[in-house]
């Protein structure tokens, strides 16, 4: 099925905090998203290895989740796959800042847009958060096109977390829509 909703991501370079929270590397950030004409505020983004979504049954080495919240409390998560390729400067900044189990002193902003594909074609479905509290009725927007990160970056992240992904869930009657940009 096709989805008609346009997605516009206006994520800033300003980072509030970066912490190894025991489940992932999480970056609290500011910014906004307009999804199908609705406004959301970026709350944070975090990473999973391997990916929590699959395409044709195949995982990617890393997936980043940008967690957005509307004024009414509704959540929209934008997921981006990372594949092996050339080094990604923004992801390297995240890796440089973190110290396991600690909050990072973040002094240099990250160019978050380097972790988002230029082409915003995505898959959309209604699901749940993949980490506790596993809240339901979360709008998922999974970018079809992956972003490249280097093999060394994947290996560095895997030193912290190499299996912090939730097992892929059955669709249980949910429809997955595709929006082509």
DSSP-assigned states of every residue in 58-124? B--SEEEEEEEE-TTS-EEEEEEEEEESS--HHHHHHHHH--TTSEE---S---GGGGS-SS--EEE
Write the pLDDT tens digit of every residue in 19-60: 888 889 898 888 999 998 999 999 999 999 999 999 999 999
Which residues does residue 55 pair with via DSSP β-bridges, in sequence order? 58
Domain count, the chain: 1
Write the pLDDT tens digit of every residue in 74-109: 999 999 999 999 999 999 989 988 765 566 666 677
Domain that holds residue 145: 7-165
Does residue 155 form part of some domain? Answer: yes
Does residue 102 form part of some domain? Answer: yes
Does residue 180 form part of some domain? Answer: no
List C-alpha distances in Å: 130 to 18, 65, 133, 143: 20, 10, 8, 17
**CATH number of the domain residue 71 falls in:** 3.10.200.10
Report the chain's mean pLDDT, rounded to a whole number: 89
Does residue 136 form part of some domain? Answer: yes
59 noted as active-site residue? no
Does residue 177 form part of some domain? Answer: no
Does residue 178 form part of some domain? Answer: no
Does residue 176 form part of some domain? Answer: no
Residue 121 · residue 180 · CB < 8 Å:
yes
Does residue 143 form part of some domain? Answer: yes
Which of 23, 48, 53, 59 is catalytic? The answer is 23
């Amino acid at each position: 099925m096709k989805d008609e909703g346009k997605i516009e991501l206006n994520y800033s370079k300003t980072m509030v905090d970066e912490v190894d929270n025991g489940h992932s590397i999480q970056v609290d950030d500011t910014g906004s998203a307009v999804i199908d004409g609705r406004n959301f505020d970026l709350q944070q983004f975090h990473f999973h290895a391997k990916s929590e979504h699959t395409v044709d049954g195949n995982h990617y080495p890393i997936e980043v989740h940008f967690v957005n919240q509307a004024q009414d409390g509704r959540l929209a998560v934008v997921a981006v796959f990372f594949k092996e390729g050339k080094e990604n400067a923004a992801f390297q900044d995240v890796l440089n800042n973190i110290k396991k189990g600690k909050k990072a002193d973040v002094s240099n902003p990250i160019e978050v847009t380097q972790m988002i594909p230029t082409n915003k074609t995505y898959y959309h479905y209604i699901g749940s958060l993949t980490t506790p509290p596993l809240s339901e009725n979360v709008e998922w927007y999974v970018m079809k096109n992956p972003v490249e990160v280097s093999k060394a970056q994947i290996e560095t992240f895997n030193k912290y977390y190499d299996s912090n992904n939730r097992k892929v869930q059955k669709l249980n009657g949910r429809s997955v829509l595709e929006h082509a940009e």
